[in-house]
Amino acid sequence: MRGNTTRSAGVVAHPEQACPIAPVVDIVFSRWTTPILWTLNEYGRQRFVELERRIATITPKVLTQRLRQLERDGLVLRTYHPEVPPRVEYEISELGRSLAPLFATLAEWSTANLDRVEQARQDYDTAQRRPARRS
């Protein structure tokens, strides 16, 4: 278990107990994990340079780090082909593919609600710029 704890009414709880989805969020929604998994799910097996092109804003160093972590987590499979020059391909694993319904649900939510989120942000920002009213 992680060392971080949450205190409430004198009770100490680990984040996993306070919010049981926290470990999943940590794994799946870290900075570059979602675009990598989405790309592998949508386009299938990819070489490193193909992934790098499809996720244009990621650096090679970060892509390498994230792919290693995803492989360690069992969400991505790495296949090394011992040819000249060597070829490495990445694909989403069955475990990673099991996240597809979650991504589909989030995509639907995004389509249905991001405009509302943007409007709420604008309303909030506008309200913050107004001078405070005195009673």
Q: Which residue has the higher pLDDT, 109 or 12?
A: 109
- Angle formed by the axes of helices 60-72 and 33-43, to 10°? 80
Domains of the chain as residue ranges with CATH: 15-98 (1.10.10.10)
Report the amino acid identity of residue 32.
W
Q: What is the model's pTM?
A: 0.73
Convert the pLDDT of each residue in 38-71 to its tens digit. Answer: 999 999 999 999 999 999 899 999 999 999 999 9
Query: Is the peptide bond preceding residue 85 cis, with omega within 30 degrees of 0?
Result: yes
Convert the pLDDT of each residue in 15-44 to its tens digit. Answer: 567 888 888 888 888 889 999 999 999 999
Backbone angles phi, psi at 78, to 5 degrees: -115, 130
Convert the pLDDT of each residue in 73-115 to its tens digit. Answer: 999 999 999 999 999 999 999 999 999 898 889 889 999 999 9
Query: Looking at residue 22, what is its pLDDT?
Result: 87
Residue partners of 51: CB distance under 8 A and separation at least 6:
36, 39, 40, 63, 67, 90
